[in-house]
Structure 1
Amino acid sequence: MKKIIDYLYSLRNQGSSYGIERMEMLLEKLGIKSLPFPVIHVAGTNGKGSTCAMLDSIYRANGYKVGLFSSPHLVHLGERVRINGKILSEEKLIRHLRVIRPLAEEIEKEVEGMHPSFFEIITAIAFCEFSQVKVDLAVIETGLGGRLDSTNVVVPEISIITTISLDHCHILGNTIEEIAFEKAGIVKKGCPVVTGWLPDAANEVIRKIALERGASFYTLAKQSSQQDLPETNLVGEHQNRNAALAVKVTQILKENFPVKEEKLDSGLQTVKLEGRWQVLQDNPMIILDACHNKEGATVLIKQLAQLPKNMKLVVWFGSLGEERAKEILSVLTQFASEIRLFKPKQPRACSLKALRSLICPIFSGKVLKGEVEKIDSHFNAIHSGQILLITGSIYLLGEIMEVVKKPKNNLGLSFQDLV
């Protein structure tokens, strides 16, 4: 059992090569010519995970059987594949892997260098599971970009592009227009597309591509006001914008997937999404918030400004890229009294030395070394009157939560049932 899971994770070490050819070959081996379930396909720099979670919650509240594919996971690999909110069990994960692994190895034998990647195999697992349990609707989040993402083999009911900003520039391009072109790769012939509050330049690229492909184009960017946005249980104005996007999608799809107004509201009030300004406990207050790029840092400023002024903020932070880390640390140092730096167990993770060098010299608070292995003593140093914010890479959040969620962690914390 462990060997086959290790095999899957070993594929992460092979590096990334983008394109849908391997995914198409794998689906052909699996005998899947077209997906037997309708799809909502979601891309974007930020907000796609939240929007997916909202759509999942809305349609489940209306009685639909919904499959949700999202990434990355916090603790359990099965979090990436959910049926009606329940994560894929390890037993089912392994069952799918035992079918898919030999097919992936066949592809490698037939065409050297074409072994499907970690993400492609997880995508295939999601498609197989959704097919087997016969979901009414699947909400599919892209991994990176859109045009060359493994999920882009789908022909959706609708495509969604949440936000666009400069991120992953070495892969997607160095301008808003170039990145918009990559994201717009998910727009399919005759399938509507809706965008959030995108820059005009990005929207223009997507609008032209939609026109070329005969796809109806909708955008929230032309709304005269962001007032009266839908309410949701997720925290922050950006989540209200994501909710507005989710509601717009339900309006466009109402003919084939009708929803009741009261059930829509119920869905928006019961969204489950780990790691997005998630208050784990109140005293001392512990907040889990994945923030990994400049756009996320802009949102973070607004959230931090609303915290109680009479409580000291302690931050635990780790990042996968120095440029990203610099943007986020410049925000954190404005509010924190103490920053503890961690190095996530990922190949692209920033070293503690690099992170320390990115902290503004005029920051007068403490800067400490963090180690996930010593998480119990780190938690014990937090006391009433402080707020602990665990932020940065979602991989760091996952490593910390993996320790916290163990029944015998001796931490005295009360959130083992997080996922």
Structure 2
Amino acid sequence: MKDLFEYLYSLRNRGSSFGLERMEILVDLIGNPQTKFPVIHVAGTNGKGSVCSMLSSVYQENGYNVGLFTSPHLISLGERIKVNGEMISNEEIHEEIRTIKPIAEMMEKKTQGMHPTFFEFMTAAAFLFFEKKKVDLAILETGLGGRLDSTNVVFPELSIITTISLDHCDILGDTIEEIAAEKAGIIKSEKPVLVGWVEDNVTSIINEIAKRKRSPLYSVASWDEKELIETNLKGFFQRQNATLAYKATKILESRFPVVDSLTRQALKKVRILGRWQEIIGKPKLILDACHNSAGSKCLEQNLIELNEKPQIWLGVLGKERAVDIVRVVSKYASSLVLFEVSQPRSCTFKELRSLIPSKFKGEIINFDLDKAAYYLSNLKKQQTILITGSIYLIGDILSIIRGYEKKNKFNLSDLF
């Protein structure tokens, strides 16, 4: 089993062009499992993971057998593929890898550069697993963009575009309009598309593509803010996400009927790791992934509502992404603890420090990931620590804490 997992993770270092050709060949060779179940396909710069989790919760609450595919994972690879909220086991992942690996190697043997990437491999594994589990409905989150994303080999019952802002410009385009066109690439002929709160110029682009494909276009833009759907998740933007998920169920009600009270109930008990996830202990930890400028606005809303100055732990991928995030955390932190994330694009300590405004008077510390668990376990007073920035930082810290707890036989808090 170990060898197959090592093989899978080695694919992360395999450079391949961005496109659908490999994925189309791969799913064809494994029997097109993605055609065996209905799909809701979700793209967007921010909010798509939350909307996917909300939809999964809603349909599960209403008695459906629901598959969920999201990325990336925090700690366990199985977080990416779930059925009715239960992660795929290592043994089940192993089984899917064993099925796909010889086909992937055959593709590479026939044509140089055609070996599937890590994400394509995981997408195919999800399709096979959902077929095996006979899901009534699968909720799929795009990995990057939409038009050329490996999930875009499906023909969904509904496409959802949550938000559009500048991110991954090196791949998706330098303007909002270019990025909108890429995200709208998930729209399929004569299948409905639902759009979240986006700018008018973005709506125009999506509307044009939808018209060309004869796809009914729905929006929540006119929804009264005072009547946004309630959710247990923190932040105004999560109420927007809940409203988007709620609207999706109404669009699909003839095919997938739901009970309104159960839908609202499900949206009040959604659990999403690393999205303003509060862990009450000593200290109190708040985990909130924030990876771009749009996310920093949501982070600021939550920090205002928190009404205290926490110590903030921060690590970010890419200096351009870090600018707005550092600006926000510098306004609300009592002190800043900086990390270099274990990813190639991580901001260095020097880069992060260069972005901190000179008016910030709190302590600034460069910190080693390996010291995180020991530091938390030896704090003598109650305080609040917010860990934010890259989702990889949050995952790394949780993994280290879990390992430290096992080694030292103590419970830092109820993290898992």
- Do they superpose with TM above 0.5? yes
Q: Secondary structure at the match of 1:191?
A: coil
Q: Secondary structure at the match of 1:58?
A: helix
1:379 matches 2:360: no
Alpha-carbon distance in 2 for matches of 1:190, 1:365: 56
TM-aligned CA deviation for residue 7 of structure 1: 1.1
Q: Secondary structure at the match of 2:406?
A: coil
Alpha-carbon distance in 2 for matches of 1:168, 1:216: 28
Match of 1:357 in 2: 354
Contact 1:403 1:409 in 2 (8 A): no
Q: Deviation digits for residues 59-82 of structure 1, max 9, x if unmatched?
A: 000000000000000000010000
Match of 1:66 in 2: 66
Percent identity of paired positions between Structure 1 and Structure 2: 51
Match of 1:167 in 2: 167
Match of 1:136 in 2: 136
Q: Deviation digits for residues 165-213 of structure 1, max 9, x if unmatched?
A: 1111111111111111000000000110000011111111001100000
TM-aligned CA deviation for residue 341 of structure 1: 0.8
Match of 1:196 in 2: 196
Match of 1:48 in 2: 48
The residue identity in structure 1 corresponding to 2:51 is T
Alpha-carbon distance in 2 for matches of 1:357, 1:115: 40
The equivalent position to 1:390 in structure 2, one of 364, 383, 387, is 387
Contact 1:231 1:243 in 2 (8 A): yes
TM-aligned CA deviation for residue 108 of structure 1: 0.6
Q: Secondary structure at the match of 1:373?
A: helix
Match of 2:151 in 1: 151
Match of 2:297 in 1: 298
Match of 1:114 in 2: 114
TM-aligned CA deviation for residue 360 of structure 1: 1.6
The residue identity in structure 1 corresponding to 2:231 is T
Q: Deviation digits for residues 344-374 of structure 1, max 9, x if unmatched?
A: 1111111122212221222111111121211
Alpha-carbon distance in 2 for matches of 1:286, 1:326: 24
Alpha-carbon distance in 1 for matches of 2:362, 2:109: 56
Match of 1:184 in 2: 184
TM-aligned CA deviation for residue 33 of structure 1: 6.8
Match of 1:210 in 2: 210
Match of 1:96 in 2: 96
Contact 2:237 2:298 in 1 (8 A): yes
Q: Deviation digits for residues 252-297 of structure 1, max 9, x if unmatched?
A: 0000100001110121012121000000115432100000000000
Alpha-carbon distance in 1 for matches of 2:165, 2:25: 32
Alpha-carbon distance in 2 for matches of 1:405, 1:381: 15
Match of 2:326 in 1: 329
Residues matched between the structures, number: 414
Q: Deviation digits for residues 6-47 of structure 1, max 9, x if unmatched?
A: 111111112352111101111111122752000000000000
Alpha-carbon distance in 2 for matches of 1:154, 1:65: 19
Contact 2:281 2:412 in 1 (8 A): no
Per the normalisation by structure 1, the TM-score is 0.96
Match of 1:313 in 2: 310
Would the alpha carbon gap of residues 55 and 274 (structure 1) be closer, same or farther in structure 2, given more than 3 Å must change? same
Would the alpha carbon gap of residues 377 and 405 (structure 1) be closer, same or farther in structure 2, given more than 3 Å must change? closer
- Unpaired runs of at least 5, structure 1: none
TM-aligned CA deviation for residue 385 of structure 1: 4.5
Contact 1:320 1:348 in 2 (8 A): yes
Alpha-carbon distance in 2 for matches of 1:383, 1:205: 55
Alpha-carbon distance in 2 for matches of 1:15, 1:334: 39
Map 1:198-277; keep pairs closer than 5 Å: 198-223=198-223, 225-277=224-276
TM-aligned CA deviation for residue 380 of structure 1: 3.8
Q: Secondary structure at the match of 1:403?
A: helix
Alpha-carbon distance in 2 for matches of 1:2, 1:415: 29
Q: Secondary structure at the match of 1:415?
A: coil
TM-aligned CA deviation for residue 222 of structure 1: 3.1
Match of 1:12 in 2: 12
Alpha-carbon distance in 2 for matches of 1:322, 1:83: 37
TM-aligned CA deviation for residue 403 of structure 1: 1.7
Q: Secondary structure at the match of 2:306?
A: coil
Alpha-carbon distance in 1 for matches of 2:348, 2:243: 39
The residue identity in structure 1 corresponding to 2:322 is A
The equivalent position to 2:338 in structure 1, one of 338, 341, 347, is 341
TM-aligned CA deviation for residue 307 of structure 1: 1.5
Alpha-carbon distance in 2 for matches of 1:277, 1:206: 30
The residue identity in structure 1 corresponding to 2:269 is T
Contact 1:287 1:390 in 2 (8 A): yes
Alpha-carbon distance in 2 for matches of 1:51, 1:264: 13
Q: Which runs of 4+ in 1 moved over 4 A?
A: none
Q: Secondary structure at the match of 1:242?
A: helix
Would the alpha carbon gap of residues 16 and 336 (structure 1) be closer, same or farther in structure 2, given more than 3 Å must change? farther
Alpha-carbon distance in 1 for matches of 2:345, 2:83: 32
Superposition RMSD in Å: 1.3
Alpha-carbon distance in 2 for matches of 1:16, 1:167: 20
Match of 1:414 in 2: 413
The residue identity in structure 2 corresponding to 1:12 is R
Q: Secondary structure at the match of 1:265?
A: helix
- Unpaired runs of at least 5, structure 2: none
